[in-house]
Amino acid sequence: METINFTTAILVDQTPKEVFDAINKPQYWWSGAFEGNTTNLNDEFTYCYEDMHYSKQRISEIIPDQKVVWLVTESDISFVEDKEEWTGTKIIFEISQQEHQTKLQFTHIGLQPHVACYDACTTAWGQLIEQSLYDLITTGKTKKPVLA
């Protein structure tokens, strides 16, 4: 039986380096409060959005201009029964050339349809990747979405 994880993709005219650099500045495109570093292997950062979501990520893989993987080492999601359901999941950003554009493939390994926060979390990731991060990559500016 195939496991289905949440995934989405965007295409931009910017270079893989520009996409990579934007990914590594989540404080500019991910709504919420940040502490820590987000650019080198084994860097750790925390993210908090109001009283709804807290998570701690570690950069577990980083290949310049190609790939970034965040391992969620702690989580507390207030609106679901299993508050730690993100713990142990992986957030993956894969960058590739597709003809004359750059493709960013986003996958959250472990965010699957049977997970309680799936609907809310996939809606939020869609806004963050397809709007906020897209805007940061393509214009250098972003308006962080208000997540509900």
Q: Bridge-partner residues for 56, per DSSP?
A: 46, 74
- Supply the pLDDT for residue 147: 54
Within-domain flag for 146? no
User: Are the C-beta atoms of 39 and 23 separated by less than 8 Å?
Assistant: no
Q: Is 47 part of any domain?
A: yes
> What CATH number corresponds to the domain at position 64?
3.30.530.20
The H or E element containing residue 139 is helix 134-139
Please indicate, yes or no, if residue 79 is contained in any of the structural domains.
Answer: yes
Q: Which long-range contacts (CB under 8 A, 24 or more apart) does 53-56 make?
A: 53/77, 53/78, 55/86
The parent domain of residue 43 ranges over 6-139
Q: What's the rounded mean pLDDT across residues 63-80?
A: 95
What was the pLDDT predicted at 103? 98
**How many folded domains does the chain comprise?**
1
In a domain, 134, yes or no: yes
Q: What is the pLDDT of residue 40?
A: 96
Q: How many CB atoms lie within 10 A of CB 82?
A: 12
Residue 43 forms part of a structural domain:
yes
Taking the model in full, what pTM does it have?
0.93
